[in-house]
Amino acid sequence: MAGNNQIYVALLRGINVGGKNKIKMTELRSSLENIGLRRVKTYIQSGNVLFESSDAEATVRQRIEQEIAAVFGITLTVVIRTAEEMEKIVRHCPFSSELIAEAAATCVGESLYVALLPEPPLPSGIEKLAAANNEDDTYEIVGRDVYLLFRHSVRDAKLSVNLQKLGKPVTVRNWNTMSKLVEMAKELRE
């Protein structure tokens, strides 16, 4: 990789969910290329974007949010991670494979997710989430990421509904998506 170019993953919050905030990925790619992001790739329709830039995370985040507001008329939060940060998230899952298998056996759909925040939650938010969670689901907060393990369904889980108690915008991705983004980021780096 030349100079200080960084491979980033941008996770757009609330894109193409339930017929709202519709953005075609081809249009998103070209608008992000127009603001100088390089080698832009998208994965599925839920707003997962990989790209290369030499700018700092905060700068890139602000430019993407402004571009989406200007081009698509949608105000949203973009959560950014470097390729290395994404790899670390996937490599350091705090749940044992036994615990994950146990949850997967009773869960409708995916059981393992990661909630990603632009910055770490405040202690008051962490306390509120702890108070609101039932014993059904398990979570582990690591910096600005929250690992989520559901035993029944992500859709009906109190934990999903209560993530906003952390006091920061949050976007959630299932484990398969996280793993695929890590794989795509590695390909971009090579």
Q: Rounded distance, CA 184 to CA 171, Å?
A: 19
Q: Rounded distance, CA 49 to CA 8, Å?
A: 8
Q: Rounded distance, CA 110 to CA 148, Å?
A: 11
Are 15 and 58 part of one and the same domain? yes
Number of domains in the chain: 2
Q: Is the pLDDT higher at 29 or at 16? A: 29
2: pLDDT strictly greater than 70 = no
- DSSP secondary structure letter of residue 108: S
Residue 93: inside a domain: yes
Burial of 103 (0-12, 13-18, 19+ CB in 10 A): buried
Are 28 and 100 part of one and the same domain? no
Other CB atoms closer than 10 Å to residue 41's CB: what's the count? 17
Are 76 and 102 part of one and the same domain? no
Other CB atoms closer than 10 Å to residue 35's CB: what's the count? 15
Question: What residues make up the domain containing 11?
Answer: 6-86+180-189
Q: Give per-residue pLDDT as tens, 23-72.
A: 999 999 999 999 999 999 999 988 999 999 999 999 999 999 999 999 99
Are 133 and 99 part of one and the same domain? yes
Q: Give per-residue pLDDT as tens, 92-138.
A: 999 999 999 999 999 998 999 999 999 999 999 999 999 887 778 99
Are 41 and 117 part of one and the same domain? no
Tell me, what's the pLDDT at 1? 38
Residue 169: inside a domain: yes
Are 82 and 93 part of one and the same domain? no
